[in-house]
Amino acid sequence: MNLNLSGKVPTGLTLRARDFIGSHCVKVDVQPREQHRQAWLELGIPAEEIDRVVAFQRQWGGLVLPPYPRYEGGPSYLDPDVPVRSGDEGWWFAAGDQRSSVPFSFMIGPGGEFGLHSHRWTALHETIEGWVESLALAHHAALWAKCITKVTGDEVEDIELAGYQPVREVRGLADTWWRGADSLVAIYNGEADCLSAPWSRTALIYSGLDEWGLRGGVDDEG
């Protein structure tokens, strides 16, 4: 069942991201993970990790986001699954199924990071909110930019970021956004790191932006 998200937008987001979700996203029914608590406890999964999954689902479960410009569009919708442990590093859980066939999973890390898991773990953003903010900003920038330039591989290193400031609301780790006088730069390192594939490093430069295009009503504090 699809639901209009008016009045049900998750908290902890900028006005730009909240407007984006309210205007471009829907929510679908998902199976409550709380009902698996006892079975997961019997598998040796700590109660606090189950609590993380349940809390994530209550906040984000069933949210269907428009396709992302990288990672073949991102998760088809947000819905967590059973926590899994990786050695002494901690516990992860899936953020949602892949939208298309990609060689990695979208996961929430031990510290709440949103990232990719394949041969190795790569945290893209400090939080799921950062991921959603980056998606909202990508949509906003593409709408208002006069020109969008794609740069790949080693040429990403040649992008001059002197005078640019990091876009703090995206809480970037492997993936970052940078704001200049009239342009935004998104740098995507996730696949390059997760898959040990430096040639897949990509940047998108959104140029010709006015003040609204640069911020969309979001101040410097994000």
Domain boundaries, the chain: 2-127, 132-215
Q: Are the beta carbons of 107 and 168 closer than 8 angstroms?
A: no
Q: Are the beta carbons of 25 and 65 closer than 8 angstroms?
A: yes
Percent pLDDT > 70 in the chain is 95
pLDDT at 6 over 50: no
Beta bridge partners of 96: 106
Return all residues near 215 (Cβ < 8 A) that are at least 6 apart. Answer: 16, 179
Residue 97 CA from chain centroid, whole number = 13
What is the overall mean pLDDT for the chain? 92
- Give the chain's count of helices (H) and strands (E): 6, 13
pLDDT tens string 180-211: 999 999 999 999 999 999 999 999 999 999 99
Q: Is residue 115 packed enough to be buried (19+ CB in 10 Å), middle (13-18) or exposed (0-12)?
A: buried
What mean pLDDT comes out for the span 113-121? 92
Say which range, 24-33, 70-79, 86-95, 166-175, has the weakest mean pLDDT: 86-95
Q: Write out the two tokens for 133.
A: 């903010």
- Report residue 5: phi and psi, to 5°: -90, 10
- Report residue 138: phi and psi, to 5°: -60, -45
Q: Are the beta carbons of 134 and 186 closer than 8 angstroms?
A: yes
Percent pLDDT > 90 in the chain is 84
Beta bridge partners of 108: 93, 114
Helix (H, G, I), strand (E, B) or coil at 115: strand
- Report residue 194: phi and psi, to 5°: -65, -40
Q: Is residue 137 packed enough to be buried (19+ CB in 10 Å), middle (13-18) or exposed (0-12)?
A: buried
The closest alpha carbon to 76, from 66, 86, 89, belongs to 66
Q: Write out the two tokens for 17.
A: 């991201």
Please, which pLDDT band fits residue 4 given cuts at 50, 70 and 90?
A: very low
